[in-house]
Amino acid sequence: MNPHDRRAIERILAEEEVGSASLIPTLLAIQEQLGHLPPEALRLVRAHSDVSDARLAELLSFYPRFRTRPAGRHRVQVCTGTACYVQGAADTLAELRHQLGIAEGEDTDPRGMFTVEAVACLGCCMLAPVVRIDERTYGQLSAARVPEVLDDFQATVKRRATGATAKREGRRAESPASAELRLCVCTSCSSAGADALDAELRRLIRTLALPATVRNVGCTGLSTEAPVVDLVHRGRSVRYGRLTPQQAKSMLLAHLSPGSAGARATVLVSGMLERALSGEPATPPSARRLAEGSDPRDLDRPGQLRMSTRHAGQLDPLDLDAYIASGGFQALQRATDRSSASEIIELIARAGLRGRGGAGYDTATKWRNALAAPPGPRVVICNGDEGEPGAFMDRMILESFPFRVLEGMAIAAVTIGADEGHIYVRGEYRQAIERLRRAVALCAERGLIGGHPPDGAPRFEVRIFEGAGAFVCGEETAMLEAMEGRRGTPRIRPPYPTERGLRGLPTLVNNVETFALVPGIIAEGPQGFAALGTAASKGTKTFALAGRIARGGLVEVPMGITLRQVVEEIGGGNPRDRTLTAIQVGGPSGGCVPASMVDTPVDFEALQAAGAIMGSGGMIVLDDGDCVVDLARYYTAFARQESCGRCSACRIGTVRMLEILDDICEGRGREEQLQQLEDLGAHLASASRCGLGRTAPNSALSTLRHFRESYLAHIAGRCPAGRCKGLIRYRISERCIGCTRCAQRCPAQAIEGRPHHAHRIDEDACTRCDICRQACPAEAVEVS
Amino acid sequence: MSQIVFQLDGAQVTAQAGESILVVARREGVEIPTLCHHDDHSPAGACLVCLVLDRDSGRMLPSCATPPMEGQRIETTGPAVLAARRRSVELLLGDHAGDCEAPCSRVCPEGLDIPRAIQSIQAGAPVLSQPCLDCAAPCERACRRRLHDGPVAIRPLMLHGRPGEAEAELPRVRKGRFDSRIGALREGEIEAMLRGASPAPPMARGQEGRLDPHDATREARRCMRCDCREKDACRLRAAADDSAADPRRFGGPIRTPITRPDAGARLAYEPAKCIRCGLCVQLTATAEGPGLALLGRGLELAIGAPLDTTLAAILDPVAEACAALCPTGAITREDRRAPDTMDDRPPDPSDR
A52 touches chain B (CB under 8 A): yes
Beta strand pairing status for B73-75 and B3-8? parallel
Mean pLDDT rounded to a whole number for chain A: 89
Average pLDDT over every residue of A437-462:
81
A536 touches chain B (CB under 8 A): no
Name the band, by pLDDT with cuts 50, 70 and 90, for residue A60.
Answer: very high
Rounded Cα gap, residues A323 and A317, in angstroms: 8
Q: What is the pLDDT of residue A265?
A: 67
In chain B, % of residues over pLDDT 70: 93
Cβ neighbours of A410 (radius 10 Å): 27
The one-letter amino acid code at A52 reads S
Rounded Cα gap, residues B122 and B152, in angstroms: 13
Q: What is the pLDDT of residue B81?
A: 97
Quick check: A48 pLDDT over 90? no
Q: What is the pLDDT of residue B351?
A: 44
Name the band, by pLDDT with cuts 50, 70 and 90, for residue A320.
Answer: very high
Q: What is the pLDDT of residue A271?
A: 59
Q: What strand order describes the sheet that includes A540-547?
A: A553-558, A540-547, A618-623, A580-585, A591-594
Rounded Cα gap, residues A52 and B220, in angstroms: 43
Average pLDDT over every residue of A719-738:
92
Contacts of A679 in chain B (CB under 8 A): 87
A277-291, A353-367, A471-485, A650-664: which has the minimum mean pLDDT?
Answer: A277-291
Angle CA B85–B90–B92, to nearest 5: 100
**Interface probe with A: pick from B49, B307, B308, most Cβ of A within 10 Å:** B307
B221's CB contacts (< 8 A; 6+ apart) are B122, B197, B198, B200, B336, B337, B339, B343, B344
pTM: 0.91
DSSP A726: G
Rounded Cα gap, residues A332 and A408, in angstroms: 8
Tell me, rounded to whole angstroms, the distance of Cα A355 from its chain centroid. Answer: 19
Phi and psi angles of residue B183, each rounded to the nearest 5 degrees, phi first: 80, -160
A376's CB contacts (< 8 A; 6+ apart) are A505, A506
Measured between CB atoms, which of A495, A640, A680 is closest to B298? A640
Quick check: A726 pLDDT over 50? yes
Q: What is the pLDDT of residue B317?
A: 92
Nearest C-alpha of chain A: how many angstroms from B57? 9
Maximal CA-CA distance, chain A: 84
Nearest C-alpha of chain A: how many angstroms from B81? 10
Secondary structure of residue A131 in the 3-state scheme: strand
Rounded Cα gap, residues B92 and B240, in angstroms: 10
pLDDT tens digit sequence for A514-558: 999 999 999 999 999 999 999 999 999 999 998 898 888 889 999
Do A461 and A413 contact (CB within 8 A), yes or no?
Answer: no
Contacts of A675 in chain B (CB under 8 A): none
Contacts of A644 in chain B (CB under 8 A): 297-298, 301
C-alpha dist (Å) from residue B235 to A73, B66, B134: 51, 21, 37
Quick check: A261 pLDDT over 60? yes
In sign, the C-alpha dihedral spanning A57, A58, A61, A63 is negative
Beta strand pairing status for A507-511 and A379-384? parallel
Low-confidence spans in chain B with pLDDT less than 70: 1, 167-168, 205-209, 337-352
Q: What is the pLDDT of residue A372?
A: 96
Do B126 and B165 contact (CB within 8 A), yes or no?
Answer: yes
Do B263 and B331 contact (CB within 8 A), yes or no?
Answer: yes
Q: What is the pLDDT of residue A281?
A: 45
Phi and psi angles of residue A721, each rounded to the nearest 5 degrees, phi first: -90, -10
DSSP A555: E
pLDDT tens digit sequence for A235-253: 888 999 889 899 998 899 8
Tell me, rounded to whole angstroms, the distance of Cα A192 from its chain centroid. Answer: 15
Nearest C-alpha of chain A: how many angstroms from B92? 6
Q: What is the pLDDT of residue A301?
A: 76
A647 touches chain B (CB under 8 A): yes
Do A598 and A582 contact (CB within 8 A), yes or no?
Answer: no
Please, which residues bridge with residue A547 across strands?
Answer: A621
A454's CB contacts (< 8 A; 6+ apart) are A447
Do B337 and B221 contact (CB within 8 A), yes or no?
Answer: yes
pLDDT tens digit sequence for A614-673: 887 889 999 999 999 999 999 999 999 999 999 999 999 999 999 999 999 999 999 999
Secondary structure of residue A462 in the 3-state scheme: strand
Provide ipTM, 2 decimals: 0.94
**Interface probe with B: pick from A491, A651, A673, most Cβ of B within 10 Å:** A651
Beta strands in B139-265 (DSSP E): none
Whether A680 sits inside 8 A of B250 (CB atoms) is: yes
Maximal CA-CA distance, chain B: 79
Rounded Cα gap, residues A374 and B2, in angstroms: 13
